[in-house]
Structures are given as C-alpha cells and as structure tokens.
Structure 1
Amino acid sequence: MAVPHPDELFLAGGWVPADGGRREIVSPSTGEPVATVGLPSEKHALAAIQAAREALSTWAELPVTERVEICGRFCAALEARLEDMGAVWAVESGMPVRYSRTLHRFAAVAAWRTLLESAGHVLCDDSRESALGDVVLRREAAGVVAAVIAYNGPLVTIASKVLPALLAGCPVIVKAAIESQLIMRIIADCAAGAGFPEGALSILCGDAEVGRAVTASPYVDMVSLTGGRVAAQQIIEATRHRFARTHLELGGKSPALILDDADLTVVLKTLVPGATSGGGQVCAALSRILVPERRHDEIIEVLRQAWEGLTIGDPLDPRTQLGPLASPSVVERTEGFLARAVGDGARIVTGGKKPDGFDGGWYFEPTLVTDVARDSELAQNEVFGPVTAVLTYTDPEDGLRLANDTSYGLSASVYTADWAKGVEYARRIRAGSVAVNAFGPALTAPFGGMKGSGWGREAGPEGILEFTELKQILQGRGGTR
C-alpha cells in the first residue's frame, strides 16, 4: 500500500524525519502487516509546542477572513481525498468504506462547511453600553491548543475540534491515536498545501509518552480531548497546576427510548445504524435500547432479525455494514463484558462470538443482549464494541428514569408516533444531544456531553467560541475617538 510520507512527520507546517521508532500497521481484516511507518518522539512534541508558541501572535492576529481562506483550502483538499481516506481508514481500523462515506460526507464535510461560513460572524466584536462608558466585547484566541483525538473518527474530529480551534486563532498540535497512521498522513498532506503559517499546525500520531509531553507542557494553554475517562483524568491532573483550560468529549452509554406508541418500521431505519455502525466503537452509539415491558417480546424479535441481517465482511467492500474490530484488545474487552453479563443473568439473543467463515482478522458478531439488570456492568459501562443491551421499563416515567440512570450523558434518541411528546421527553433526558425518531448528533450544531461524558462543546458556530477568551474593553469618557 502506498503511504504518503511514511518516514516523516508533519511538524510546524512541514515534513521532518521521524525518529521515534517504527510501527508495523496490521490489517484488522486479516491480521497481516500492510505497512510500516515512522513515529514521533518526545523531541518532536516539544518542537511542535515551541513552534506553536512562536506562531501564536502571527496566526491569532491574522484577519478572520484570512484564517477562513487558509482553512478553506485545507478543507477543499480534504474533500478531494475523501475516497482515499475512507480506503486507508478501512485498512488500518476496520471501519467499512460504506460507513466512512456516510460519516465523512454528512458529518465531517457538513461540519467544516458550517464553520467556514459562520466564523466571520461569531468572531465579530460586540458592543454594550454601561454607566462607565461603552464596552467592546472581543473574542481572542485561547492560546496554544493540544487536540487529542481517538482512532474511531479522526476526520470528523478534525472537522469538529481542530478546525474550530484554528479558526478561533489558536495554533494546534494534534496528538492523534497511534492506530491512525495512514489516514492522518493523508490529512497532514492536505494541510501541507493549505498555506498555514509555520507552527500553526502539527500532527503527531504518537504513543502515550508523546501525548503526556504535549498535555503537560506549561506552554499549552488548552487541551481538548476526545477519548475515555482515564485519559480525561490524566489530563485534568496534568493541567490543574497551571490552570490550563480543558475541553473533554468522553464516552457514552446512550439510550434509545422506544415509547409504547412507536412504529418499529420507523425505529429500525435509524436505530440499527445508530447502535451498530462502526462495530459499536462510537462514543454516541445507542448501546442501551429501552423498551416497554408489554412490547418486549415483539421488539426483541424485530431487533433480532435486523441484527442478523447485517452484512459482515471486508471493510473495503461497499456492501459491508460491519467490518472487524480495531484490535485484539477490543475483541477481548467485548468478550469479557459478555461473559460477565451472562454470569449476571443476561441472555444473548443473537451474536456473541466470532462469525463463521472469518478465520483471519478481529471480527465479532453484532450482539444483542436482553434480561439486563439496570445496575449491571453492561447497563452502566461503555463496552466500545458491538454489544447492545435491551432493558425494559414499566411506564413512561420509568422509561425516563431508566434513560437517565447512568453516569454518562452524551447522546440519546426517543422514538414515538407523537413528535411533540418526543420533544418533551428529549428535554427531560440529561444528555448533550437527543434525537427524536432519528440518530444524532448533527455536527452543524454544537455537540458535547453532560455528567461523566465531559464538558464543553465542539462543532457548529458555538464550537469556535469554545477556543476563545472573552475580553471586555471599557471605553472611558475621556479622550477622543
């Protein structure tokens, strides 16, 4: 496989030799190596931080229109290479090209087009009157940003996190997942021709040591993470002494609340992809399906047929709906959750093993589990694998309690024949994104979590403001203007 710049890193706007060792990329579909690339070292992390610090005034003081123009060239290059990125992402992560085409075009592209259109407006100065004089409210760049992103949606995270920070005037060091070597090299290749000032953008696909070097630096003003709770706790610990800002988009245990009047034909259209796309390796995945007791058997049978009808196969085949999981550790974690759930009395309706005919690779069947206790590990904790738990409720109020009965609050869906009732229920669910008869979020609007799913918002016009500081300039009565 042809890999752009396999022995180099995109640092401070240019390509430099990698000296942090080598990594063999293994295909999740076959378990066989497909490429070898060079890795960044802590030295590269420190160099990227220094370059970003030096670029802060240059990038932040550019007129917004010029930042939009440069970022627009970056996005145009990305759009021209969507197919390439989908293919290499399938090879290194197992995400099907069918999934990436939908995710990239309807989430990533939509997100950055909204950002480019809205940046000039949201970053304009505002003015207010006061007894002391007129007040100008000014949005200024928060400073150097470390953007830590996961393997399960790198291009979408570039769109929802990195581009808002750049448009706000922040130089960005992207610490990408070590599993995302191929797709991030194409992304970096697109950035290289966009015309960013030296130091405004660096992309490092490194290990945890590289990540710690970036997030612990006193010269990094803000850390934005998409990841898990352990990583978030480590970042909070690394940044608290210097009072650096943090933005955390963490995991979820998102409910799909099926109300008693719901039409299952409507439900299946978005619930099935919402629960199973990406093999469950999606933070917003609908991993808990909440059903009324009286309709449990009916709904379980419909869901079983839908789960068993999914096409498992080569992620490069456009017919494939579920590819392999990203690594053996994801398979082991999934198996462990299932074994413990069954031991606690849960019942596997379908799935629960490696599919027949897939001897190579890290495949696992989409799995549906019922008789799940509300306080069980499977009901409360994120699997990040292809396991969906079905729980029952007695009445609508009990369903709402069950939807909120988790420490997470990232995403949710409500299914009902009564749209107004669905909106009412959506308002009462403690989650950053709730969809009615649909699966979200929409990345043309701000997205983020409540409770243990983190804090802050990314994407949409408001996502740009997340990376700014709000300054008031009081214009006193004396002097001339």
Structure 2
Amino acid sequence: MTPEGVFIRNPDKLYIGGEWVAPLSGESIEVVNPVSEEVIARVAAAGDADMERAVAAARQAFDHGPWPTTPPAERGKVLMAMAAILEKRVPEIAKAWCAQIGGLTTRSEGMQMGSVMGLRGIAALGESFPWTETKKGQMVDTAVIVREPVGVVVGIAPWNAPFGIMLNKVAYALIAGNTIVMKPSPETPLEAYIIAEAAEEAGLPPGVINLVPADREASDHLIHSRDIDKVSFTGSSAAGMHIASVCGAKMTRATFELGGKSAAIVRDDFPIEDAANILGNTITMLSGQICAMLSRAIVTKDRHDELAEAIAKVMKGVKIGDPADPETQLGPLAMKRQLERVEMYIEEGKKSGADLVTGGGRPAHLNKGYFIEPTLFANVDNQSRIAQEEIFGPVLCLIPAEDEEDAIRIANESNYGLNGAVMTGDAQAAYDVARRVRTGVVGQNGMRMEFGMPFGGFKQSGIGREGGEEGLWPYVETKTILLDAAPAVF
C-alpha cells in the first residue's frame, strides 16, 4: 500500500543482499497522513533477525565483494547512474514526502531535486578527493597516505527530510567504498525504498546497499551489532546521545547531526520590518520542523516591543491549511505526537512568564489534521524551557538583550550549536559576530543553507560534518604506509 502517484514495487519486503525478501518479523509499519489522519502507506517492518541478515549481507559484500576495491572514479560513475534514475522519479519522491509529513507541494519537487544534485556533487569526489598522497619522510624514503573505506555503515535518517538526508549518507558511504544498511524513520520509509530500487537498477553489487525500515527496538538491536563499523545518525540529541553511548562501548565510528535551538541576532542597523518578515516566515517553514530552525530571536530591549508587534503581524497573515493548496504557507505538523509535544511547550511558555503575543492554539477553521498556529512568545527568559529546549514546531522565542555583547552571550547560552544568523546590512559586522557565536553554521540575514558546504553542529548539536569534501572524511580510515622507495603503482 502506497500513496497515489508513488510506485514502489515491493513495499511489503526488505532489501537485503541484493534481493527483495519478506521480513522474518512478519510485521509491517503503517504511515499516517497528518492532514487526513488516515493510513496512506504500509511497508515491511524489520525485526532483530532481519537486522542481523542485513548486517551479514553488508559484511559479506564489504569483506569479499568487489565494491571496496573498485576504483573511486568507477564508483562515482555508478552513483551518477543512480542520480539519473532518481532524477526521473523526483515527482514521485515529492508526492511521497507530501503524503507522509504534510510538506507543501509548492516546495517539494525543488527540495528533492536539490538532493539529487547533491548526489552528483558527492559522486564527483571519486575523481577529486585525495585518495592517495605521497610524502617524503624523515625516517623513510616514502610515506604513502591512503584513504580506505571504514567498512559497514548504518545510515539512520529522520522523518523531516528523509530523501535528502538518507541519500547523503548513502552517497558518502558508497563513494568511499563502504557498504551500507539504510534504516529510515518509520514515519517516512518510502524514499529509502526508492533509493534501494535506484541502486538495484544502477547495478550495485548485492549487499552493498540494504534496506530495513524498523521501529525503535529493532533499530537498537541494529546499532548494538559488533559487525558494523560506523553509524551515521541524524535526529534528536536524546537519541544521538544513546547511540553515541552504544558506539562508544565498542569503538564503532559514529557521526551525528542532531538538534538545535538556533539564535538570530538582530543588530540595531537592521530594519524592524525586514527582520519581522524573515523571522515570521522562517519559523513556518516545514511547520518549524527543521533542526537548523531559527527558533530564538535576540534583539536589544529598546527595539523588542516593536519587533514583537511586527512579527505578530506577519504571523497573523500566514495562511494555514491543506499543503496541496498552492496558497498555503503553513501545513500540519508531521504526526500526532509532534502536535502534542508542541502544545506541551506552548503551555510551558505560558507558565514561564513570557508574553504569548500571537498563536498558541489550533486553527479554528480546521477540525481535522495536526495543525497548530504560528506562535510568538516575547520577553522570553533565555533560561526557560521554551528557550533552551528544541520544540520542533512553529514557535518563536523573542529575547531582549542589553546590547550586542549581551546578545552574543545569550546566543551562546545554550546546550546546542547547530545554526544561527546575524541580521545586519554590514557583512563585516555579520562576520565578526559569527566568529564569536559557538555554532556550526551562521548566515547573514536569515536561515541560509548551502548544501555543498560543511554542515553540522557544536556541543549537543552533533559530531562531524556533512556536505562537501569534509562530509567524506568520516567515511574513510587513513592509513600510512612507510616504504624504502616509491611504489610504481598505487
């Protein structure tokens, strides 16, 4: 069972060792549409034994298959073939995303196409990455530095951007010569099926890529396996900390792109109306369900009330409704538990003493679906829960500061450090402030994204980077070979 316009050949099966196989668990996962609250897809659910089958297939393919020793440039050609296949299926992938989490149709195809372009960029690293380097040594004639695949990778992707994030993990793993086990979120498994079908069509050897959708218990069994060499996880900081502890106990390599509570510092030179338009329209993107979301805004006290009023005006003008309507600006939250989480934080905000300027409830004109109004709290204490914890919904906290120095202090007063922004017309000032904020990415005048560049976080926002050449380094091991003479062939 799949949504209309999404054509998956074997939704009732797992992809293990180059074959579509029935799950040994005998179980399935139901996917619920957040607009209709109805089941729109049903796929196979992997159990513990299925996880062991997938890891064994990936281990066999890495230890004895041709993929790890295939020249990187040849691996890149296979990934380019996958990209061509996936590009043709972008409309289908877009429909899957909208059906599963209620994403806006006006943004979906462009988002998925951007992910395919990212795959092509990673595939090109087969030609440009420094896979081998030679250096003259002090104690030996020649040192050869080689970058080899780390081994069996487990890729775990979240539900908010399931295609792009999983494809990124698959691309980096494969260009490096690794094998991979894909574990998509149970809320959004469909994109990983399409990736597996593209890999099969492109001719990847059996076991190089495997697919095991699963709920939490079987997923935990997967990461405990001693036959895996690396975990790449994108998701909540709480889940990331658990996975890190499991990996640490057996020295499994791991990278994490986790949560955020990113701050936008509004400098005094930046117009109030412009800041309001950026902040009020950013917090509604994907219903606020973006790890890099600018969910805190910091402004000097004498401009606070004016900015609060201007943001509220923008939020009140946002059209909430069916994500298939091209006029809609804010769709539903992705699932019922997410709606309940956001409502809990709104109640916490009211108790904290912050001012609820606008929003805070479900839209009066919608009696079905997981919808919530864009919500603004002003005069927020940066030590309160709504300012310190990731809400993952369209809730913005406006925090007053004494001056720019105080604003930087407030921005850094967080356990997170994923993203940030400096609102100013002065690029030098934006750079100077950005250098002082402890976060992985900082954009001038908005939530800026550049997917070919390194992306990741400080502190509890993660370990490692994805994007660009830096994104490949966590998928390779560096080996130093010390020789009495330079080899003729590398």
Cα displacement (A) at 1:318: 3.0
Q: 1 or 2 for the larger relative contact order (CA 8 Å, sep ≥6)?
A: 1
Match of 1:109 in 2: 116
Same amino acid, percent of matched pairs? 34
Contact 2:147–2:479 under 8 Å retained in 1: yes
Cα displacement (A) at 1:11: 2.1
Contact 1:8–1:17 under 8 Å retained in 2: yes
Task: Give per-residue Cα distances to partners, 1:259-305, cap 9 Å, x unaligned.
Answer: 11013455456544432211111110111011121111221122112
TM-score by length of 2: 0.93
Count residues in correspondence.
480
Match of 1:203 in 2: 211
What is the alpha-carbon distance in structure 2 between the residues aligned to residue 307 and residue 13 of structure 1? Answer: 49
Contact 1:411–1:431 under 8 Å retained in 2: yes
Match of 2:242 in 1: 234
Contact 1:180–1:205 under 8 Å retained in 2: no
Cα displacement (A) at 1:61: 0.6
Segments of structure 1 that go 5 or more residues without pairing to the other structure are none
Which deviates more, 427-436 or 15-24?
15-24
TM-score by length of 1: 0.95
TM-aligned CA distance change 1:270 to 1:129, over 3 Å: farther
Which deviates more, 273-282 or 447-456?
273-282
What is the alpha-carbon distance in structure 2 between the residues aligned to residue 379 and residue 468 of structure 1? Answer: 37
Cα displacement (A) at 1:477: 5.1
What is the alpha-carbon distance in structure 1 between the residues aligned to residue 103 and residue 29 of structure 2? Answer: 20
Superposition CA RMSD, Å: 1.9
Which deviates more, 270-279 or 391-400?
270-279
Cα displacement (A) at 1:153: 0.7
Matching residue within 113, 118, 128 for 2:135: 128
1:85 aligns with 2:93: yes
Segments of structure 2 that go 5 or more residues without pairing to the other structure are none
Match of 2:197 in 1: 189
Contact 1:255–1:413 under 8 Å retained in 2: yes
Matching residue within 302, 307, 318 for 2:310: 302
Which deviates more, 179-188 or 266-275?
266-275
1:180 aligns with 2:188: yes
The residue type equivalent to 2:221 in the other structure is A
Which deviates more, 469-478 or 419-428?
469-478
TM-aligned CA distance change 1:454 to 1:480, over 3 Å: closer
Cα displacement (A) at 1:43: 1.8
SS in 1 for 2:365: coil
Task: Give per-residue Cα distances to partners, 1:218-272, cap 9 Å, x unaligned.
Answer: 0100111101122122212222232111111110000111111013455456544
TM-aligned CA distance change 1:480 to 1:77, over 3 Å: closer
Cα displacement (A) at 1:99: 3.2
Matching residue within 336, 355, 358 for 1:347: 355
What is the alpha-carbon distance in structure 1 between the residues aligned to residue 327 and residue 204 of structure 2? Answer: 38
TM-aligned CA distance change 1:480 to 1:430, over 3 Å: closer
1:139 aligns with 2:147: yes
Task: Give per-residue Cα distances to partners, 1:165-206, cap 9 Å, x unaligned.
Answer: 111111011111000133332333222212111111112221
The residue type equivalent to 2:131 in the other structure is C
Match of 2:480 in 1: 472
Cα displacement (A) at 1:449: 0.7
Which deviates more, 72-81 or 112-121?
112-121
What is the alpha-carbon distance in structure 2 between the residues aligned to residue 201 and residue 230 of structure 1? Answer: 27
Contact 1:110–1:443 under 8 Å retained in 2: no
The residue type equivalent to 1:114 in the other structure is G
TM-aligned CA distance change 1:479 to 1:290, over 3 Å: closer
Contact 1:164–1:459 under 8 Å retained in 2: no
Which deviates more, 312-321 or 294-303?
312-321
TM-aligned CA distance change 1:174 to 1:478, over 3 Å: closer
TM-aligned CA distance change 1:296 to 1:479, over 3 Å: closer
